[in-house]
Chain A
Amino acid sequence: MGEKTPGGGISTGRRVLVLSAFAVFVVIAFVASVTLGSVRIPREEIWQSIFGAGAGTHQQIIMNIRLPRTIVAALVGVNLALSGAILQAVMKNPLADPHIIGISSGAGLAGITMMLVYPGHEYLITPVAFVGAMGAAIVIYILAWKNGIRPVRIILAGVAVSAFLGAGISAMMIFYSDKVHGALMFMAGGLAARSWPHVFIILPYAIAGALLAFLGSKHLNILQLGDEIAKGLGLNVEMTRVVMTALAALLAASAVSVVGLLGFVGLIVPHATRLMIGSDYRFLLPGAALLGAAVVMGSDTFARTAFAPTELPVGILMAVLGAPFFLFLLRREL
C-alpha cells in the first residue's frame, strides 16, 4: 500500500491524506443526505431553507425532517465508531464492538418491552433503552470483576448476558406477535422519523465522548501493548480499562437508544479505519469518527431513496454493504 521501504510503517503524510479523504466523504454524504429524498427540492431552495430564508413545505421538509435526520445519522455514526474503536483497544480483541458489552441486548430488551407492553409512550423508548443498555453493561462488568477486569472474562460474561437478554427479546416478540412491526424496526436499526429532540439527546454524549476519547488516545495506544507492558510503562491499567469501557458504553448506549440496534458500524468502521490509517489512536479515533459519520449518513440516504417510496432500515443496508467491504479489506491487508 504505497510503503516506501519494505516492512515500513504508515507515514504521517498518508494518515493525514486518509483523514482528509474521510472529511471529504463526510461533506459529500451530508450534502447528499440533505438534498436527496422522496420530495424533489431545487438546490437553491435547500440552501435558502438552511440559512433561514426559505418558507413553506419545502422549508419544513429540510429543517424538520432532512437536516435533523442527517445530523442524527452523523452523530450515531461518530458514537458507534468511537465506541467500537475504544473497545477494540480495551479488550485487546479485534472482534470487540458495542454488542459484547451488552449494549445492544440491554437496549433491545428495554426498548422492545416498552414498545410492546406499554404502547403509546414512544417518547419513553429512548430513555428506557438507554437505561437498559447501561444496565446490561454494568451487570456484565460486575459479573466479570474478580481482582480487576480481564478482557476474556468481559467477553464471556457479555456473551452469556446477551444470550440471556436475547431470550427475553425473543419471548417478548412471541407473546406480542400481533404488534411486533415497530419492534422489528428497532431491532434492525433505522433513522425514520428521527428529528431535533433526538439530536439533542445524542449530541452531549457525542461531544463529551469524542473529547474524552481523544484525550485518552495515548492511553489506548499503551493499552494495545498488553497489560504487563502497559503496567510497566506506568499506566494504571485497571482504571484506564474501567473509564474507557464506561465511555464506550455511554457512546454506544446514546446511539442505540435513538436509532435502535444498528449493528456493524461499531465493528466495521474502526476496522476499516485501522487498516487504512494504522493502530495509532491519535489518528484512528478521528478517522473512525469521520468515517462513521460519513457511512451512516451515506447509507441512510441510500436506504431511503433507492427503493422509494419504501424505506429500508439503514441497519439492513449497513450489514449488506458492510460485510463484503470488510471481507475485501481483510483479504487485501492481512
Chain B
Amino acid sequence: MVLETKNLGVKIENNEILKNVNVAFSEGKRTSIIGPNGAGKSTLLKALSSLNTHYDGQVLLDGEDVRAMGRQELSKKLAILPQGATAPADVTVAQLVDFGRFPYRSWLRPSDPKADREAVEWAIDRTHLNDFKDRRVAVLSGGERQRAWIAMALAQQPQILLLDEPTTYLDIGHQLEVMNIVDEINRDYKMTVVMVLHDINHALQYSDEIVVVKNHGIFAHGTPKEILTVDMLAEVFGVKADIFVNSQGISVLSPVSLVGEDRGGWRA
C-alpha cells in the first residue's frame, strides 16, 4: 500500500504549518521524517494518519482519498502511535493490546474471538512481551511500556505503521530495542513504517529513506546516503557536523558547532 500526499496544506489557528506537500512513502520501506523543531514533522504525521483531518489537499492510500474511507476502515490498514499515550492504571499489557482489535468490532458486528486472540498473541510475541502480558502497563519500565503500545498498534494488523518519536525519553539500550522490533516487523511482514525521529543517527541507521521537513515543506527525500551531507545539516539544522562511517558501514554524524559560531575561542 502506498501512502502519499497531494498538495497537502495544514493550517493551525491560521498559521501555515505545511504548504503544498507532495510526498509518497515507498511500500514496504522504513521512512524517517526528520527536521528541526517546529518544522511540521508531527503535523505531517497527524495528517497522514487522519488524527487531524482539517487539511487542504489530499492524503491517498493506494490512490484512494482517506477521508472518503471511513475512520474504522482506515484503522485496519494504517496504525498510528502518537506521543505520550497513557492508559488507565489497572490496564494490563494483554488488555491494552486487545484494544488494538477495536477497528474489527462494532455495535452490530460481533467480533471474531479467534482472529482477535491470534492477532493479540502475535503482537505480544513480536514485541517480546510474553513474560509481561499480565502485568499492568503502569508498572512497566519506559521501554517495555513503549513496546506494549507498539504491540497495540500491531494488533490492528495494519499494512502501514506510523510512529511519532517512538524512542523519546528512552535510554540508548531501550531505544535500540524499540528500533530493532520495528526493523524486524518491517523485514518479516513487509510492513511500511513511517516514523518521526528526533535522533538523526537513528534515522540514518534504521531507515531506507529519509524525508527532511523544513520551511513548511519537504526539503529533501532520499536514501540516508543521499540525504546526509554537510550542506544539509548546515542549512536545515544550522549545525556544523563531522560525518564519518561507523563499524557497521553506516554514515553517522557528530555535531561540532553551530553554523557561524567559533568554538575554538570559547574553549580557550
Contact = CB atoms under 8 A, between A and B. Distances in A.
B139 A7 contact: yes
A250 to B, nearest CB: 19
A230 to B, nearest CB: 9
Contacts of B148: none
B50 A231 contact: yes
B102 A222 contact: yes
A5 to B, nearest CB: 6
A280 interface: yes
Contacts of B100: 233
B22 to A, nearest CB: 24
B86 A232 contact: no
A233 B95 contact: no
Given A9-B91, A226-B85, A235-B102, A215 B134 contact: no
Interface in B56-99: 71-76, 79-82, 85-92, 95, 99
Contacts of B50: 231
Contact of A278 (B75, B85, B90, B107): B90
A8 B51 contact: no
Contacts of A8: 92, 134-136
A257 B255 CA distance: 67
Contacts of A278: 88, 90
A5 B139 CA distance: 12
B103 interface: yes
Interface in A214-256: 215, 218, 221-222, 224-226, 228-229, 231-236
B156 interface: yes
B105 interface: yes
A74 B102 CA distance: 33
A224 B89 CA distance: 11
Nearest to B153: A232
Interface size class of A (residues with CB under 8 A): 20 to 34
Contact of A226 (B71, B86, B103, B136): B86
B187 interface: no
B54 interface: yes
A233 B75 contact: yes
Nearest to A277: B90
B192 interface: no
Interface string A274-312: 000011100000000000000000000000000000000
Contact of B99 (A5, A10, A215, A221): A221
A57 interface: no
A4 to B, nearest CB: 8
B8 to A, nearest CB: 18
B54 A10 contact: no
A9 B92 contact: yes
B116 to A, nearest CB: 12
B167 interface: no
A147 B90 contact: no
B81 A232 contact: yes
A201 B80 CA distance: 46
A153 to B, nearest CB: 15
Contacts of A232: 49, 51, 75, 79-82, 153
B85 A234 contact: no
Contacts of B153: 232
Given A8-B134, A8-B136, A224-B87, 10 more contacts: A7-B139, A9-B95, A225-B85, A231-B50, A231-B71, A233-B99, A234-B75, A234-B102, A279-B89, A279-B90
Which 9 A/B pairs are nearest by Cβ-Cβ distance?
A234-B75, A9-B92, A234-B72, A279-B88, A7-B139, A234-B103, A228-B82, A232-B80, A278-B90
6 contacts: A8-B136, A9-B95, A225-B86, A228-B80, A228-B82, A232-B79
